[in-house]
Structure formats: C-alpha cells, structure tokens
Amino acid sequence: MAKKTKSKTKSKATRAKKSVQRPKGKSPARSSAKQRRAKGATPQSFVSAAPTQDASTGKFLADLAKVAYRAASTSPLAKQVADAALARATEAAEGLAAGMVDTVADKVFGSNRRRQKGQQNGHGLPEPSAKPWGQAGKALDGVRILDFTHVQSGPTCTQLLGYMGADCIKVERPGVGDITRGQLRDVKGADSLYFTMLNGNKRSITIDSKNPKGKEILERLVKHCDVLVENFAPGALDRMGLSWERVNELNPRMIYASVKGFGPGPYEDCKVYENVAQCAGGSASTTGFRDGPPLVTGAQIGDSGTGLHLAWGIVCALYQRTRTGRGQRVLCAMQDGVLNLTRVKLRDQQRLKHGPLTEYSQYGEGIPFGEAVPRAGNDSGGGQPGWILKCKGWETDPDAYIYFITQAPVWGAICDLIGKPDWKTDPDYATPPARLPRLKAIFATIEEWTMTKTKFEVMEECNAVDIPVGPILSMKEIAEEQSLRDTGTVVEVDHPTRGKYLTVGNPVKMSDSITEVQRSPLLGEHTEEILQKELGYTTEEVAEIKTSGAITAPAKPASAEAA
Ligand code: CAO
C-alpha cells in the first residue's frame, strides 16, 4: 500500500517536471495570427486550446486576459477573449500549483512524511508563506467591493469585509451621501457617529446613478470589482439599470449580494428597518416579561446581524468562485437573519407539544403555557437556570446588577458561597429537577447575598469557584474598559471634521490577518482617485465627468439632515 502511494506521488512529480520542460517555442501561444486564421480559428478557440500544463503559457494567458480586459469596455470580442484567457489561465495555475506542491512537499517532508500527512498534500494551495504571522497581507487583500450600501445593515457587512482587507468603494449620491451622515448628529457640520462607526475602512466616491455618465462609470466599476453589495429597497437597483442579469452580463465573476427585509413571498416588496425585522423574525414575541408587551432588543440583530450573515455569504461565494470562476447572487433577508439568531425559541415552540417548558420560571410558578412560546423575562433560555440579581448600589445605579447562573455542577459551591450549605443535601434543593419549581425563591435567596457586594466583587468571588456570572456593564463602563482597548475591540479613531471618536473594531481576531481600523471617508473624498487610478480615466475625462453632473451635487442639494 505504502509503495503504491509512493509511485503515484513520484509519477505526479515527474509529470510536473516534464511539463515545465516543454520547448517554449512550440507553445501555441506563440503561433502567429496568420497561422490561426489559416486554420479557421477564432481568438477564443485559440485561447481555449492553449495547453495549461506549461508555466510560460499560463503566464501568457494571464497577461493576455489583463490586456484584453482593458479593452473589454469598448470591444465585446476583447471581453470574450479576456474571459476565455482568464478561465484557461486559472486552470493552468491550478494544475501547476498542484504539481508544484507535490514536488515541494516531497522535497521538504520526504515521501514518508507526506504519506503520514495523508491527504494533506496542499490541495492546490501554494507553499506556506515564509513571512512572519501578520505580515503576509490581510485575508481579503485584492478583493474589490462595489459598496452600494446605506443605513446600517449593508454598511455593517462591508465594514467587516474592509476590516479583513477588502477594498470597499462606497458609492454615494452627490451632495447627499448615505442618509446616516446627517442622522443623530452630535457635532454640527460633521458626519454623525451613526455613519462614522459603520463606514470605516472604506473609500467614498460620489456618483449620480441616474445620470448617463454616472451609469457609464458604474458599469466600469461593475467590471472592475469582485462583489457588489447593496441594501436598497426592492427594485431600486433594477431601476438604476443594475439588475442581477445586467451585472452578470457585464461581469460574470461578480458576486451580487443584497440585504432585503423579507425573502420571496407576500412581503418581498416591503421596506424594512431593524425593529420590523426583530418583530417579523420572532425575536420580539419572545423577548420581555410574560405579563408585559413584546420588546425589541438593543442589539441590532436585524441590521448588524443581517450584515454579518451577508458577509459570511459573500466570503463563501468568493471561495466557490475560485472553483467555478463565476459569481452568484447572495441574498440575506432580515427576517431570516433574525430567525436564525432566535432559533432556540423555534426549538422551544416544538418542545411545547410534548409538555411544559420546565426551565421557564413560569413553570415553577404554576402558570400554564399557551400555544406559542411565551416571553421568558431573564430566564437563561438554556438548561442552566439563570436570572438577573441586584448588587450593592442598585438603588442609585441602574446597572448595579449581575446575571447569575445556577449551573448544576457548581451547585455545591453556590450553596457554600451564599451561606446555605444545608441545601447541598436537602432533597428540595439537591437536584436540578427538585430546584425547578423553587427557582424564584432560590434566586431571591442568592440575591440577598449579591446585594451585599458590588457586581465586580460578585464576579470575582464566583469566578474563583467556577460559578458563571456576568456583570451588567453599562456602555460607559464598556467605553472605559482597558482590556477592550488592548485587544482592538474598542478603538479610538481620529477624524478630520469631528475629531476623535470610539468605534468597534474587528470582533474577529485572526493570527495572520491583522485589522487596522481606519476612519470613515468624507463624502466623495476618493472620487477622483478612484476614477483615475482604478478606472483609468484621464484628467481631461474627469473634467468632462465633472461638468456632466455625474459626480457633483446638483445646484440645490437635497437636505442630508434627516429625522
Ligand atoms: N444616485 C442616484 N440615486 C440614488 C443613489 C445615487 N448614488 N443612491 C440611491 N439612490 C436612489 C435609489 O435609486 C432610490 O431611488 P428610486 O426609489 O427612485 O429608484 C432612492 O435613492 C432610495 O432608495 P431606497 O428606497 O432604498 O431608500 P429609502 O430611504 O426610501 O428606504 C430602507 C430605506 C432602508 C427602508 C430601504 O432601503 C430598504 O428597505 N432596504 C432593504 C432592507 C434594509 O437594508 N433595511 C435596513 C436598513 S438599516 O435600519
């Protein structure tokens, strides 16, 4: 068996070696246009027939694709050639990489070591970088995002991609921009925190998408970028002439990612904001106290939660594109995103058929369940009962509380700590099922103890004996928490018009993709830079674009100051 593996490995390596020894002059890439015409070949068929086992041909195909893409906006033929060349170059690169990785692996590990590693033979990946951790670029370096997002859900998504290194080109309406620039303003004349905290690590270009020249620039951007992200009301992007079909025609590799309020169905045309999604996704009906109205939560699970889901979908689509070479639509409905985050309540809905939900405190209180999952106040929602308890100072400090979990394995430690050692053996308290009908009274007794200490003292004493508790931290305390600054979760950023502000950095820490949090862009700050450096417009062309009204504010700009 071992022998078989070895010979297989060897023959692969030999094949790879042989292929790079192919006489360069014989590559069809070098045959003349005259020869090709004589054979009746089209440029595309020629490209498609090029061998992909040859490094120099692979490189030639990649270069050809680059050149052809430059001409693609004016010539459909150039576009076809570019697409064919790129597809073939990718195949060549994949084939060569696989061969090379095999050869390198043999050199580095020897064939025995490679066998031990089983299938871990590179899978077409390049040789591991020799650069120190954190110095080999960022996870999404080279990914270009056409960021057509506004308000919160879409911008959350693109900011996360920006934190991971993607180049986010945010398109905004001239003179107006993302409506949140002017919403909830705290500093006169400066972009609001609503905007700045959701649009870091992006560049801003102003384009009037309804101006003919503006449309032309947008089409160039579509061809230039890898991902289009948008969260307009249903149909708005189609009305701009950027339907999925059109975008796919312009750039078959583009991933077209959208946030909408609802998926296909009776509500698909509705405009949706955060709290609408929280209500329609099942969160509000299960949040709050049983005897009170439904409640929305302060965590923006509809907006930021959906943005996060969309970012995940985009990264998966980018990965799939490395195999298929084509883009796809990625849709995340806010209702679906909220439901995904509220899935434990759908779990409980199904459990209801089989009896009462014994971990809900209403069970212990003897209150019958109805047909739908009830609001459970501060019940923990898991199998370990928990509740929010007062701590020292609660009379004046609205956040002097702690979340206390009576986790079964540490029940003995809880009893000792609160001065009730007899509960450890008392049949009414010793087991989790015995405690369930008494939870209210148990938590009231624990509270007598927590009220003698600050939330941080409770935290310290409980954690010393592994009792899980959580202090209710105010936003003031979070803003001042040094450990969150140290990890880059809370970051202070400097802004040219509003000065220093705090933002939330990347909540995901990666050992080889280090996040640098940058301030949000001013409206249109990068318009000329993007037109010239990314899209290749000349200085004269940019001057013409300016006079066309495609990138400048109309004479009477609409008010950015919104409710
Ligand atoms: N140039 C010219 N016009 C532009 C433009 C540009 N650069 N950018 C946007 N516009 C236009 C759009 O084309 C659209 O015009 P038409 O309706 O005339 O075609 C218009 O601006 C506004 O689009 P909208 O309908 O999306 O904006 P709205 O303020 O009325 O609605 C919202 C906002 C959030 C309710 C809606 O966009 C929506 O439902 N989005 C999907 C769900 C979502 O993401 N919600 C979360 C919002 S965060 O709480």
Ligand 1 contact, 180 CB (< 6 A): no
Distance 231 CA to ligand 1 centre (A): 7
What does DSSP assign to residue 355?
S
Mutate to test the pocket of ligand 1, among 151, 152, 232 (most ligand atoms within 8 A of CB): 232
Residue 123 reports pLDDT greater than 80:
no
pLDDT digits (tens, 9 = 90+) for 258-286: 999 999 999 999 999 999 999 999 999 99
User: Using N-to-C axis directions, what is the helix angle for 334-341 and 304-324, rounded to 10°?
Assistant: 100
Ligand 1 contact, 207 CB (< 6 A): yes
Average pLDDT over residues 277-297: 97
Q: Which of 334, 354, 352 is nearest to 342 (CA)?
A: 334
pLDDT digits (tens, 9 = 90+) for 457-467: 999 999 999 99
pLDDT digits (tens, 9 = 90+) for 389-446: 999 999 999 999 999 999 999 999 999 999 999 999 999 999 999 998 899 999 999 9
Average pLDDT over residues 113-131: 67
More confident residue, 93 or 305: 305
Distance 178 CA to ligand 1 centre (A): 9
Task: Kindly state the tokens that stand for 431.
Answer: 């087991």
Q: Per-residue confidence at 125, pLDDT binned at 50, 70, 90?
A: confident
Residue 56 reports pLDDT greater than 70:
no
Average pLDDT over residues 38-67: 59
Name the residues annotated as catalytic: 303
Q: Per-residue confidence at 124, pLDDT binned at 50, 70, 90?
A: confident
Lowest mean pLDDT among 164-168, 192-196, 424-428, 553-557: 553-557
Q: Which of 191, 228, 177, 207 is nearest to 520 (CA)?
A: 191
- Quote the percentage of the chain above a pLDDT of 70: 79
SS3 382: coil
pLDDT digits (tens, 9 = 90+) for 498-522: 999 999 999 999 999 999 999 999 9
Ligand 1 contact, 551 CB (< 6 A): no
pLDDT of residue 359: 87
Ligand 1 contact, 274 CB (< 6 A): yes
Average pLDDT over residues 95-118: 43
More confident residue, 79 or 212: 212
Lowest mean pLDDT among 34-43, 197-206, 242-251, 436-445: 34-43
With contact defined as beta carbons under 8 Å apart, do 294 and 287 qualify?
A: yes
pLDDT of residue 46: 54
Nearest CA to ligand 1 atom 47: 273
Residue 193's Cβ-count burial label (10 Å; 0-12, 13-18, 19+) is: buried
Ligand 1 contact, 93 CB (< 6 A): no
Mutate to test the pocket of ligand 1, among 197, 238, 271 (most ligand atoms within 8 A of CB): 271
Q: Which of 103, 102, 95, 107 is nearest to 121 (CA)?
A: 102
Average pLDDT over residues 13-19: 33
Residue 95 reports pLDDT greater than 70:
no
Lowest mean pLDDT among 87-101, 201-215, 401-415: 87-101
Length of the chain: 563
More confident residue, 102 or 260: 260
Q: Per-residue confidence at 303, pLDDT binned at 50, 70, 90?
A: very high
Task: Kindly state the tokens that stand for 449.
Answer: 């103890």
Q: Which of 210, 199, 203, 124 is nearest to 171 (CA)?
A: 203
Strand bridging mode 255-260 / 227-230: parallel
Kindly give the number of the ligand 1 atom that is closest to the alpha carbon of 232.
26
Task: Kindly state the tokens that stand for 348.
Answer: 């409980």
Ligand 1 contact, 473 CB (< 6 A): no
pLDDT of residue 77: 75
pLDDT of residue 410: 96
With contact defined as beta carbons under 8 Å apart, do 313 and 132 qualify?
A: no
SS3 68: helix
Ligand 1 contact, 231 CB (< 6 A): yes
Distance 317 CA to ligand 1 centre (A): 25
User: Using N-to-C axis directions, what is the helix angle for 334-341 and 343-351, rounded to 10°?
Assistant: 60
Ligand 1 contact, 273 CB (< 6 A): yes
Task: Kindly state the tokens that stand for 368.
Answer: 């019958």
Q: Which of 39, 93, 25 is nearest to 61 (CA)?
A: 93
Q: Per-residue confidence at 93, pLDDT binned at 50, 70, 90?
A: low
pLDDT of residue 90: 64
Residue 39 reports pLDDT greater than 70:
no
Distance 240 CA to ligand 1 centre (A): 11
pLDDT of residue 222: 98
Nearest CA to ligand 1 atom 15: 236
Q: How far apart are CA 356 and CA 240, in angstroms?
A: 53
Distance 233 CA to ligand 1 centre (A): 5
With contact defined as beta carbons under 8 Å apart, do 467 and 417 qualify?
A: yes
pLDDT of residue 81: 73
Distance 236 CA to ligand 1 centre (A): 7
The values of phi and psi at residue 102, to 5°, are: -60, -45
pLDDT of residue 504: 98
- Whole-angstrom distance between the N-terminal and C-terminal Cα of the chain? 73
Q: Per-residue confidence at 126, pLDDT binned at 50, 70, 90?
A: confident
Q: Which of 420, 451, 436, 429 is nearest to 385 (CA)?
A: 436
pLDDT of residue 451: 98
- Quote the percentage of the chain above a pLDDT of 90: 72
Q: Please report which helix (H) or strand (E) contains residue 213, including its range.
A: helix 212-224
Across 29-33, 58-62, 424-428, the highest mean pLDDT is recorded for 424-428
Average pLDDT of the chain to the nearest whole number = 86
Ligand 1 contact, 345 CB (< 6 A): no
pLDDT of residue 4: 35
Q: Per-residue confidence at 122, pLDDT binned at 50, 70, 90?
A: confident
Lowest mean pLDDT among 90-99, 346-355, 439-448: 90-99
What is the sign of the dihedral through the CA atoms of 497, 502, 504 and 505? positive
pLDDT of residue 5: 34
Distance 501 CA to ligand 1 centre (A): 27
pTM for this prediction: 0.80
